[in-house]
Amino acid sequence: MMHMVYVSIDMAATGQKIDRLRKERNISVAQMVNGLGLTSPRAYYKWRSGKCLPSIDNLCVLSAMLQTTIDELIVRAA
């Protein structure tokens, strides 16, 4: 019998990682918001605080902006 393995995402750690990478790359929040085509920084701050995760299309843009892969952006819960 095959057992299913479910992976959960640590939303807070993922948000912190995105923010850390943004700072390491010297990208301002305003540049991030503009690059993602967002109308305000509200969504970015929700990701950063771990209240929600970026959509898959935003993860694609984030990975390009932050010069990494989507897999590297996402932190899995232990």
The structure's pTM equals 0.87
Is the separation of the CB atoms in 16 and 9 below 8 Å?
no
**Which of the residue ranges 4-8, 20-24, 54-58 would you say has the lowest mean pLDDT?**
4-8
| Count, residues in the chain | 78
Is the separation of the CB atoms in 12 and 20 below 8 Å?
no
Whether the pLDDT of residue 1 is over 90: the answer is no
pLDDT at 78 (0 to 100): 73
CA torsion angle 49 55 59 60 (round to 10): -160
Q: DSSP string of 5-27?
A: ----B-HHHHHHHHHHHHHHTT-
pLDDT at 2 (0 to 100): 73
Condensed to tens digits (0 to 9), the pLDDT of residues 20-37 reads 999 999 999 999 999 999
Helix 42-49 to helix 29-36 angle (10° resolution) is 110
Structure confidence at residue 7 as a pLDDT band (50, 70, 90): confident
